[in-house]
Homo-oligomer: A and B are copies of this chain.
Amino acid sequence: MVIKYMTLGMSGSTTGTCLEEDDVDLKICRVCMDKATGYHFNVMTCEGCKGFFRRAVKSNIRYSCPFQNSCVITKNSRRQCQACRLKRCLEIGMNKEMIMSDKAVEERRTLIKKNKTLKMTPSIPEEPDLTKEQEKLLEDLLEAHRKTFDASFTHFTQFRVGIVYQTLRQGSLHFLSQYVVASLYTVCISIQSTHQYTQSSTLMKPYPVKISLEKDYKLQRNFSMLPHIADLATYMIQGTINFAKAIPFFRNNSLLSCK
């Protein structure tokens, strides 16, 4: 940087070139004079001041200047006084409102995670060959499935969870619901193995380009859902029954005693 300025001063002063100079001017951090990397929270700043501003505002800590509250902020001094650095950030117009809220950040992270999962493109199975009746039944089942378990599976989000923790003896740790954590873990594994399956299995052939009718797409998709629906139904029914059976109250009243 030093060299660059000197060069400019020696060779460029008479010509009064504009673009270069303006660029250099515009590319200076309004907070600390370091090299700026663009507009951050509404002001041209460097990466350092960008990160500092976000952290300072989000942490919500009230800094206090150990000097006279009038520190000059430069590339080299900016680290010495957080209070004055933040003050300067605000003075030149950096906008708190442009920092994403925790909620917004959470949504963003979720979106990215979802997109990543979706990008892992699986292949498509063979086209099944069904009778009219079978196709109708298939439609019925899929429709029932859709009605019962909405696409975003919102039921799960509404589950309240318990807090399961271990004693201090067992490692000085308390834990969130083991159950929920375990289920996340397992669902993750499930999805990953499913990915592997659909991506590597020789049974899963790439979708034939020649098949392009809307109806064929739909049929294939529906058909592939059948095993899943069957598993889910089995699980739901058996789970309900088993749970009830395991409660002494129900056992004693022999409502379910047919074994």
Contacts and interface: CB of A to CB of B under 8 A. Distances in A.
Interface of A: 1-3, 5-6, 42, 66-67, 75-76, 80, 95, 97-98, 101-102, 106, 110, 113-114, 117-125, 137, 140-141, 143-145, 147-149, 151-165, 167, 172-196, 198, 207, 214, 217, 220-221, 224-233, 235-237, 239-240, 242-244, 246-249
Contacts of A193: 106, 157
Given A121-B174, A187-B184, A239-B236, A207 B151 contact: no
17 contacts: A67-B97, A110-B189, A113-B188, A144-B246, A145-B246, A156-B186, A156-B190, A159-B190, A159-B231, A161-B191, A162-B228, A163-B198, A176-B191, A177-B194, A181-B191, A233-B243, A236-B239
Given A106-B193, A117-B184, 5 more contacts: A118-B175, A151-B178, A151-B179, A165-B217, A177-B225
Given A66-B101, A167-B217, A184-B187, A176 B194 contact: yes
A239 B233 CA distance: 9
B188 A235 contact: no
Contact of A182 (B66, B153, B188): B153
A197 to B, nearest CB: 9
Contacts of A151: 178-179, 182
Contacts of A145: 243, 246
B194 A113 contact: no
A243 B148 contact: yes
A221 B119 CA distance: 40
A130 to B, nearest CB: 15
A157 B228 CA distance: 11
A167 B214 contact: yes
A75 to B, nearest CB: 8
Given A156-B183, A160-B231, A140 B248 contact: yes
B243 A240 contact: no
